[in-house]
A and B are shown apart, each in its own frame.
Chain A
Amino acid sequence: MTDSKILDPKIPSGPLAEKWDRHEQENPLVSPGKNRREKTIIIVGTGLAGGGAAATLGELGYNVLNFCIQDTPRRAHSVAAQGGINASKNYQNDGDSVYRLFYDTIKGGDYRSREANTYRLAQLSMGIIDQCVAMGVPFAREYGGTLANRSFGGVQVSRTFYARGQTGQQLLLGVYAALSRQIAAGTVKMFPRHEMLDLVVVDGRARGIIARELLTGEIKRFEADAVVLATGGYSPVFYLSTNAVNSNATAIWRAHRRGAYFANPCYTQIHPTAIPQLGDYQSKLTLMSESLRNDGRVWVPKKPGDKRRPNEIPEEERDYYLERRYPAFGNLVPRDIAARAALVECNAGKSAYFSDRAVYLDFAEAIGRLGKDVVADRYGNLFAMYEEIIGDNPYETPMTIYPAPHYTMGGLWVDYNLQSTIEGLFVAGEANFSDHGANRLGASALMQGLADGYFIVPRVVSNYLAGAKLKPVDTGNDAFKAAEDDTRKYLQRLLAIKGSRTVRDIHWELGRTMWNNVGMSRNAEGLKQAIADVSKLREEFWQNLKLTGNDADLNKQLEQANRLSDYLELGELMARDALMREESCGGHFREEHKTEEGEAKRDDANFTFVSAWEYTGANKEPFLHKEDLKFEFVELKTRSYK
């Protein structure tokens, strides 16, 4: 075991607003032409972060190998984002600025993110919008032809750009278009239906990956001068989440096993407005966009156990609890606060008519104020989706919602250059931990994905390639051979278990354990229980898993089993991290640490740091390192939305 380290985030010196430009001036570049063509960069992931980086590095002339699980890069999970993307354009003249977006993000993250990264994100946000418009992304417009904006939770300006309820899709199709152009140009080679199963480290540097071609089961070796992971988030550790069913932690977890530290694993975002869970047959939870909180009012019956239909409950017997508790922000408080408030009400027995885990989101007032047509224009597709699932018509009967796992702020630790603790391994998008602290504001993940993809990764990877003296490696190297052998044996071991429980069955149990003990509200006893339960379940998995089929065919059961094996380790680490963090901040709420009013209570004296866990071996306790968070420009305050 190593000594506990204080990690250096390598933040450039100088005033906040000048750091990124200085960084540009101070770092070396690779000259165009042959020098770039001869450098190979592996990018795993084709979402906004990975696809954006692959296309841009292709434009710069590098030799890019780009991987994804889906049959085409256009289906990466970024496609599912609905609501919008932030940028500090101040097109609405409502007082927005780079500083305000930066400040909102730091405050929204409950002062647990790195100032310099967050500031850079706010700076780059404007260029993202310009770039997307120029690529033909059909953002919503006003009649005069200018770009339209909407508001999102946790802020008091209107800075969210959107394309109906399909913003992620449109941004991803922009990325896909740029990627398609580079594929045609020969700079990017695309490997769809390829899953990265291991990272290859040679002489301390990331030099390649092992990937499985999902149709044939073939295990392949790929070498490169740098590796970028942009593989998205790990919310399906809860089984039920708003993420796609193939979202996974495998790429980052295998890199973690090879030496990349895992930062803030317990920071997970539980989104307040998903369609409530209906049964245990379910495979996912459907998000109802946060934009609904612009016009919808959240309430529960005042009387515990009141199971009348919502329209039978008179106005004075309803509690609009967000408006009551947070008059300044009302229904637009940040996600963590809205989610926890719903939990508090439901725990007190106040809930919707058909479930004790659901609250109302009511559009009656908005329909009265704006008319049904305007409401339909804004939210029609969401209302239709809701009606198909629940069977109630939200124009007439208030919608019901409940919080659901949605986004993971934690991820692999990276420095200012998005480089992990393994040299030459960069991590971008939701897969890293960098910008959102303990809670992410709405419409900020798309912004981060594209900032990383279009602007940051291309620059920092170029700097790395220009500065590093890399010896040539080829895939015949021992490290590649060993990693390939390990991967093959691992899969064969899974197929050889021949027990009696299906992947889904075990994953469901993991999900319930995580949701109950490492979910919206956590305490020491529950977390210790989770550590014990997850470790026991992992043991059972390796003894009692039941799979069919083989490893030389398309076999989704095997793919999911392999991903679940990683979730069974990550879940335990999340609980350990939550147990270590004896404070409440953002999405991490420890019942032992709250104010008299029940709000999260941080402990800045002892916990103003990023936890970065080192893997020490299977079934061994991980080792904690820290990065101290220094606030030079913002004063730490108690977050208040009252």
Chain B
Amino acid sequence: MSDNGMTIHLKIWRQAQGATSGKFVDYTVENVLPEMSFLEMLDILNETLVQKGEEAIEFDNDCREGICGTCGMVIGGVAHGPHAGSTTCEIRMRQFKDGDTITVEPFRAKPFKLIKDLVVDRSAFDRIQQKGGFVTMNVGSAPDGNAFPIPKDHADHAMDAAACIGCGACVAACPNASASLFVSAKISQLSWLPQGEPERARRALAMIAQMDAEGFGDCSNHGECEAVCPKEISIGNIARMRREYLKGALKG
């Protein structure tokens, strides 16, 4: 829509696969339009790199509309960049000015092993989920969908928590690399629904134990997680998770 492009300077973390360290490399991209997405700007950069015979910068991405949770970079020091409530792929270049220098880094946290350039391994999240982020029931055994009325506000609370996309920004932003916001979102969602009720105690204990086993740190209420979360998952979920845990431990 606009015809005057910007010049954007980038300092991007490059790390070879299997290497234990990497470094920032400087790049400049010309003719960047405000309506371009941040990833489209990186696409353009990659096109020029490949044309020069250099290896493209690797970054994970898929839906490019903020819902799959695949993308994730620390842009200008902030996980998912400068626009609150957005994923990396939703960031548009209108957030930046002509001549800006932007640093781009991977989501760093001990349990997220760096794979290459900006790509990290978040499989720890899957292993936490496998410990209890489900309702134990088989296909075929469900009662009618309206058999249990659920108050609208409970359903809404459950939905608020269920909106988590598993991106890991909360971990990357936390000084302790805690996964509490992510884990609490799942525990909270199921705790608001009658279907999650029978396994509440077991679920909280098992998921939290796995979170610790993966090497995520403790939550000390910094609140950085909530600030970067693209789905604005509330830190109130962490308090709820603690209550679930205590109830579980007491039943123990």
Which A residues contact B (CB, under 8 angstroms)?
52, 55-56, 59, 70-75, 77, 79-80, 89, 91, 127, 129-136, 138-147, 163-164, 166, 168-170, 173, 176-178, 180-181, 183-184, 190, 192, 215, 244-246, 278-279, 281-284, 286-287, 354, 385, 388-391, 454-455, 458, 502, 504-505, 546-549, 553-557
B63 touches A283 (CB 8 A): no
A75 touches B62 (CB 8 A): yes
A52 to B193, CA, bound (A): 22
Chain A residue with minimal CB distance to B121?
A: A71
B152 touches A138 (CB 8 A): no
Chain A residues near B162: list those with CB within 8 A.
Answer: 138, 163, 170, 173
Cross-chain pairs A/B with CB under 8 angstroms, 12 sampled: A74-B126, A79-B63, A79-B69, A127-B142, A133-B148, A135-B195, A136-B135, A166-B163, A181-B136, A244-B63, A281-B36, A284-B65
- B70 sits at the interface (CB 8 A): yes
Chain B residues near A178: list those with CB within 8 A.
Answer: 134, 139
Chain B residue with minimal CB distance to A247?
A: B62
A548 touches B49 (CB 8 A): yes
Shortest distance between the CB of A234 and any CB in chain B (Å): 16
Chain B residues near A138: list those with CB within 8 A.
Answer: 155, 158-159, 162, 189, 192-193
Q: A389: which of B35, B130, B143 is its contact (CB, 8 Å)?
A: B35
Q: A72-B122, A173-B162, A281-B40 are in contact. Are A79 and B139 (CB under 8 A)?
A: no
A74 touches B69 (CB 8 A): yes
Shortest distance between the CB of B144 and any CB in chain A (Å): 6
Q: A133-B195, A548-B56 are in contact. Are A391 and B135 (CB under 8 A)?
A: no
A72 to B133, CA, bound (A): 15
Q: B166: which of A72, A140, A147, A163 is its contact (CB, 8 Å)?
A: A72
A144 touches B49 (CB 8 A): no
Determine the main DSSP class of B at the interface with A. loop
A55 to B137, CA, bound (A): 11
Query: Number of B interface residues, CB 8 Å?
Result: 80
A74 touches B166 (CB 8 A): yes
B50 touches A169 (CB 8 A): no
Closest 3 pairs between A and B when the two form their complex, measured CB to CB: A145-B149, A134-B142, A177-B134
B85-135 contacts to A, CB under 8 A, are: 86, 90, 92, 94, 115-116, 119, 121-123, 125-126, 129-131, 133-135
Q: A130-B142, A244-B63, A279-B33 are in contact. Are A145 and B47 (CB under 8 A)?
A: no
- B196 sits at the interface (CB 8 A): yes
Shortest distance between the CB of B194 and any CB in chain A (Å): 9
Shortest distance between the CB of A83 and any CB in chain B (Å): 13
Q: A141: which of B47, B61, B133, B155 is its contact (CB, 8 Å)?
A: B155
B56 touches A141 (CB 8 A): no
A74 to B190, CA, bound (A): 17
Chain A residues near B195: list those with CB within 8 A.
Answer: 133-136
Shortest distance between the CB of A179 and any CB in chain B (Å): 9
Interface centre among B40, B54, B139 (most CB of A within 10 A): B139
Chain B residue with minimal CB distance to A129?
A: B145
Chain A residues near B123: list those with CB within 8 A.
Answer: 71-72, 192
A168 to B115, CA, bound (A): 29
A176 to B166, CA, bound (A): 12
Chain B residue with minimal CB distance to A82?
A: B67
A354 to B163, CA, bound (A): 34
- B246 sits at the interface (CB 8 A): no
- Binary per-residue interface labels of chain B (158-196) against chain A in the complex, 1 for a CB within 8 Å, 0 otherwise: 110011011000000000000000000000011011011
Shortest distance between the CB of B19 and any CB in chain A (Å): 11
Shortest distance between the CB of B149 and any CB in chain A (Å): 3
B62 touches A246 (CB 8 A): yes
Shortest distance between the CB of B147 and any CB in chain A (Å): 8
Shortest distance between the CB of A65 and any CB in chain B (Å): 16
B39 touches A283 (CB 8 A): yes
B37-88 contacts to A, CB under 8 A, are: 37, 39-40, 43-44, 46-47, 49-51, 53-56, 58, 60-70, 83, 86
A391 touches B152 (CB 8 A): no
B53 touches A548 (CB 8 A): yes
B65 touches A134 (CB 8 A): no
Chain A residues near B36: list those with CB within 8 A.
Answer: 279, 281
Q: A131-B142, A138-B189, A553-B116 are in contact. Are A180 and B35 (CB under 8 A)?
A: no
Q: A454: which of B139, B149, B152 is its contact (CB, 8 Å)?
A: B139
A131 touches B44 (CB 8 A): no
Shortest distance between the CB of A139 and any CB in chain B (Å): 7
Chain A residues near B121: list those with CB within 8 A.
Answer: 71
Chain A residues near B66: list those with CB within 8 A.
Answer: 385
A72 touches B125 (CB 8 A): yes
A283 touches B92 (CB 8 A): no
- B34 sits at the interface (CB 8 A): yes
A142 touches B33 (CB 8 A): no
B159 touches A164 (CB 8 A): yes
Q: A56-B139, A164-B159 are in contact. Are A180 and B86 (CB under 8 A)?
A: no
- B150 sits at the interface (CB 8 A): yes
Chain A residues near B20: list those with CB within 8 A.
Answer: none
- B220 sits at the interface (CB 8 A): no
Chain A residues near B159: list those with CB within 8 A.
Answer: 138, 140, 163-164, 170
Chain A residues near B135: list those with CB within 8 A.
Answer: 134-136, 177
Chain A residues near B148: list those with CB within 8 A.
Answer: 133
Shortest distance between the CB of B134 and any CB in chain A (Å): 4
A549 to B14, CA, bound (A): 14
Q: B67: which of A136, A166, A283 is its contact (CB, 8 Å)?
A: A166
B166 touches A77 (CB 8 A): no
B137 touches A134 (CB 8 A): yes
Shortest distance between the CB of B230 and any CB in chain A (Å): 12
Chain A residues near B144: list those with CB within 8 A.
Answer: 130
Q: A56-B139, A130-B144 are in contact. Are A390 and B61 (CB under 8 A)?
A: no
Q: B139: which of A89, A131, A143 is its contact (CB, 8 Å)?
A: A131
A548 to B60, CA, bound (A): 18
Shortest distance between the CB of A552 and any CB in chain B (Å): 9
B40 touches A391 (CB 8 A): no
Chain A residue with minimal CB distance to B231?
A: A166
- B221 sits at the interface (CB 8 A): no
